[in-house]
Amino acid sequence: MSYSLREAFNQVRSYFRNEQLDREVNEEMASHLEMAVEENLRRGMSPEEARRQALVRFGGVQQALEQQRESRSLPWVDVLRQDLRFTFRMLGRDSGFTIVAVVILALGIGANIAVFSVVNTILLRPLPFRDPQQLVRIVEKDPKAGESSKTYTADATQDFQQQNHSFQSVSGYFAFTGPDNFKLVGGGQPVPTTGLLVAEGFFQTLGVEPVLGRLFRSEEFVQHAQPVALLSYPFWKRRLGADRSIVGKTINLSNSSVVVIGVLPETFDFGSVFSPGAKVDLFVPYIMDDFRDDGNDLALVARLKPGVTQAQAQNETDQLLPQFYFEHKHPEYGKGYTGQLTGLKEYVSGKLRRSLIVLWCAVGLILLIVCVNLSNLLLARAAARSKEFAMRRALGAGRGRLVRQLLTESLVLAVLGAALGLGLAYIILSYLAHQGSIALPLLAMVRVDGTVLEWTLLIAVGAAVLFGAAPGLRMSASNMQEVLKDSGPGLSEGRKRDRLRSTLVITEIALACVLLVGAGLLLRSFLRVLDIDLGFEASHAAAISVDYDDGGNAAKRAAIWQEVTSRSLTIPGVESAGISDNLPMSRNRSWGIAVKSDQKNPNFIPVFVYIVSPGYLKAMGMRLMKGRDLTWDDLSNNRAVVILNETVARTLWPGQDPIGRTAIAGGMDAEVIGVISDVRETGAEDNAGAQMYLPATKQFGPEGSYLVVRSKLPPASLASSVMHTLREINPGQPATEFKPIQSLVDHATSPRRFFVLLVGTFAGLGLLLASLGIYGVISYSVTRQTQEIGIRMALGASQSSVQFDVIWKTLRLALIGVAVGIIASLVLARLIASLLFQTAPSDPFTFAGMVVLLGTVALLAGYLPARKASKIDPMVALRTN
């Protein structure tokens, strides 16, 4: 079939040499005719007869020319070009309509592109690792105590690594890294830096290769090895000026010399996959021998062997993990882990699937509303253009050609809208990708990629067909004689077209109704979440990570803490201050606590533990229900005391006063000195867990330290004086951020806020479009009925009765739409029930609010045309036409 290829190629070539080829074939035909004439003359015909005969035998020069053109070139391209040229002329002439249509489409399509990109990144696109389908996360089957029960000890991890047969490799990272746990020293002020400890083979397990240098080697995971670090790409770029010769150089991290061995690729963003919203600057080896006594602290990631299914691996895990001791050195601590394998992708984004699908549907509804709206606009235009089309058909344009012309117009509009929408989406996405405060995984990797462009094309064409089809078919089917006969505007129009437009508006209102109900339910849930008693007062408090050097001496530490706290209290505006090694709703860690009794095996329950200073509870705004706060004496005298929250007190000593009793906490006997009200630790929507607060003494060493300051002044205005005070005590204090506690709460509620904001925006958009639709239809019908109204007014109808009629017509549309919408919403709201928080899917307030809102908007949209109708001057209306 090579000749058809050659033919196609030649056709394309001919397309661009059209004029020359036309000239040639004209010349050829002219000479053909001359030859025929000459021959006829030779046969003895008269000159006229000779020419006539030649032309008859030739059979129509113009047809022959057309035929030749058609077979040599690409005629459909010409038609397309013609259609496009005509379309642009039409749209240009009606620029008001074009702008409105394109902007509406851009909003609808842009929102769709943006949401699709997010869905694509979080749900559809594989994780940016090698063979990501082989990666699994392993956590306890029934995690009760936050991170601590999602992690494993060094010993158990090592046992698992050595004994399993299902995995190519098992590795993990230290799950309790706080932000800014290091400081980068050298060249000016120390820079707060976040370094994550990763176990051997972590990057190899994920399949991440460095862009510079190498990964960690085994000999770097033993005690007293030369400290080394791998840098994240952004840190290398920002802090080290993208120095390509950095590998092998030494940097000063928290006053120890660390050799940089490599730089990780830009595509590897630890935070966005494993800990949304967190940034990690560099990675250092997790040396198992340093952590043997520290309990559960490794979050495990493993890669399945090829050919091993997750079920098989799960089977083996179920056999192995229960046999493992928590600590080899202390078999008396017991054994028995469980492990649930979850595909890493599922682990990262599984919980978000439902929310994202709801978002996707919401944005799909928006596009539907946009299409309905555009259909309506086009129908209005169609009415105005019906004469033009009837004329064109009378002049011989085929019905197919007219429909094609209309579809071309829709397509051009859709493509223009999509282009603008793409720009819009690009702006939204670049904004989203840089929102570290939104705790959604992978968000930093959101971008417009090939898949997104394909999706854009798909919805643009889909939308064009959807909104272009109805007006197109209607217009081409209309009876041309009737149209040409019609005397023009002024008389009420055929009821059929009116009914179609009304149906479209009702659809639009019903769709907007569903969106509003969805947004309303989510908003109410969000407000409920914000209303939760967190157990502390997030407003008016802020925290800062404090750096100090106590040389491992508890007494010295207590002195430093006391100095930091008391000097902070002298800052004007500071009401209270205290130190803790952990803050609520950030990382968490749990230890065991039990009642001290004579029994051999005390019944330990896992509790979140905070190592704190006096004043911390007050600074956080936590409520002490019973007993007393810690004192500096407790710290300096190494007193073993503990403050419990109500949950723990109730569990350990149900119905009794716990004050003065003895608990086994953190491995030693401690006297209960106080009880505070429960604090929501992991997130606003989770139940408050068990918590205890221990003094920072010799026995209870803190991991990091945050100074919390309570003040009526805004944190920003305090930041510099707090930093100044900290620098006076320790000139090496890095420039850590003075963070409002509210930001922790905001971070925890950010996914919900994100969804509420988006769905709310879509609902608002839907409402706007629906009101535009109502306005369009009503004001159009008023314009069409100008004469009729004029007659009625001439016959004595009052202004108010005319107004009432128009408004009533509007309300009727709105009411039908709302009724349909309510039924649809009742069905659909059930589907989002799991996303709601203390809100019923049939929440009457939400539904009532929606009805009021839509009713008001409909009234408003109807009022403007109604006023116009009542201002019609009968004389003028009757005189025109």
Binding site for other proteins (CB under 8 A): 3-4, 6-7, 10-11, 14, 24-25, 27-29, 31-32, 34-36, 38-39, 57-61, 63-65, 67-68, 70-72
- Closest to other proteins by CB, 37 vs 138, is 37
Phi (first) and psi of residue 624, to 5 degrees: -80, 115
- Closest to other proteins by CB, 59 vs 796, is 59
- Closest to other proteins by CB, 58 vs 333, is 58
- Closest to other proteins by CB, 72 vs 710, is 72
589 DSSP 8-state letter: -
Give the SS3 label for residue 263: strand
Residue 499 CA: distances (Å) to CA of 379, 387, 405, 776: 12, 21, 25, 14
Question: Where does residue 141 rank: exposed (0-12), middle (13-18), buried (19+ CB within 10 A)?
Answer: exposed
Residue 575 contacts residue 632 (beta carbons within 8 Å): no
Q: How far is the CB of 400 from other proteins (least distance, A)?
A: 23
- Closest to other proteins by CB, 25 vs 532, is 25
Q: How far is the CB of 13 from other proteins (least distance, A)?
A: 9
- Distance, in Å, from the CA atom of 274 to the CA atom of 280, rounded to the nearest integer, reads 11
- Closest to other proteins by CB, 33 vs 465, is 33
Q: What angle do CA 18, 24, 29 make, to 5 degrees?
A: 125
Q: How far is the CB of 9 from other proteins (least distance, A)?
A: 8
Instruction: Map 35-78 to HEC letters.
Output: HHHHHHHHCCCCHHHHHHHHHHHHCCHHHHHHHHHHHHCCHHHH
Q: How far is the CB of 52 from other proteins (least distance, A)?
A: 14
Q: How far is the CB of 87 from other proteins (least distance, A)?
A: 30
Question: Where does residue 831 rank: exposed (0-12), middle (13-18), buried (19+ CB within 10 A)?
Answer: middle
What residues are paired with 692 via a beta bridge? Answer: 609, 644
Q: How far is the CB of 23 from other proteins (least distance, A)?
A: 12
- Closest to other proteins by CB, 64 vs 79, is 64
Residue 609 contacts residue 591 (beta carbons within 8 Å): yes
- Closest to other proteins by CB, 59 vs 488, is 59
- Closest to other proteins by CB, 72 vs 393, is 72
Q: How far is the CB of 73 from other proteins (least distance, A)?
A: 9
Give the SS3 label for residue 770: helix
**Centroid of chain to Cα 482:** 53
Q: How far is the CB of 77 from other proteins (least distance, A)?
A: 16
Tokens of 794: 């001439």
What residues are paired with 602 via a beta bridge? Answer: none
Give the torsion sign (CA, 724, 730, 732, 736).
Answer: negative
- Closest to other proteins by CB, 51 vs 587, is 51
Per 3-state DSSP, what percentage of the chain is helix, strand, and coil (rounded to 5)? 55, 15, 30
Q: How far is the CB of 404 from other proteins (least distance, A)?
A: 25
**Centroid of chain to Cα 810:** 37
Strands 668-676 and 641-645: parallel
- Distance, in Å, from the CA atom of 568 to the CA atom of 92, rounded to the nearest integer, reads 68
**Minimal CA–CA distance to 545: which of 723, 748, 744, 747?**
723
Specify the DSSP element, H or E, that contains 575: strand 574-580
- Closest to other proteins by CB, 63 vs 838, is 63
Q: How far is the CB of 40 from other proteins (least distance, A)?
A: 12
Give the torsion sign (CA, 484, 486, 489, 493).
Answer: negative
- Distance, in Å, from the CA atom of 859 to the CA atom of 136, rounded to the nearest integer, reads 56
Q: How far is the CB of 31 from other proteins (least distance, A)?
A: 5
Transcribe 798-830 into DSSP letters: -HHHHHHHHHHHHHHHHHHHHHHHHHHHHHHHG
Q: How far is the CB of 24 from other proteins (least distance, A)?
A: 8
- Closest to other proteins by CB, 67 vs 597, is 67
Residue 562 CA: distances (Å) to CA of 240, 541, 618: 36, 19, 15
- Closest to other proteins by CB, 63 vs 323, is 63
Q: How far is the CB of 15 from other proteins (least distance, A)?
A: 12
- Closest to other proteins by CB, 29 vs 240, is 29
Q: How far is the CB of 51 from other proteins (least distance, A)?
A: 14
- Distance, in Å, from the CA atom of 623 to the CA atom of 115, rounded to the nearest integer, reads 42
How crowded is residue 492: how many other Cβ atoms within 10 Å of its Cβ?
Answer: 12
Question: Where does residue 128 rank: exposed (0-12), middle (13-18), buried (19+ CB within 10 A)?
Answer: middle
Burial pattern 469-483, b for ≥16 Cβ within 10 A else e, equals: bbbbebbbebebeeb
Q: How far is the CB of 80 from other proteins (least distance, A)?
A: 21
- Closest to other proteins by CB, 40 vs 502, is 40
Considering only CA atoms, give the Rg of the chain.
38
Q: How far is the CB of 59 from other proteins (least distance, A)?
A: 3
Strands 340-343 and 256-263: unpaired
- Closest to other proteins by CB, 72 vs 524, is 72
- Closest to other proteins by CB, 32 vs 867, is 32
- Closest to other proteins by CB, 31 vs 801, is 31
Residue 530 contacts residue 749 (beta carbons within 8 Å): yes
Give the SS3 label for residue 525: helix
Q: How far is the CB of 1 from other proteins (least distance, A)?
A: 11
- Distance, in Å, from the CA atom of 775 to the CA atom of 469, rounded to the nearest integer, reads 23
Tokens of 130: 């090698």
How crowded is residue 23: how many other Cβ atoms within 10 Å of its Cβ?
Answer: 10
Q: How far is the CB of 61 from other proteins (least distance, A)?
A: 6
- Distance, in Å, from the CA atom of 687 to the CA atom of 333, rounded to the nearest integer, reads 28
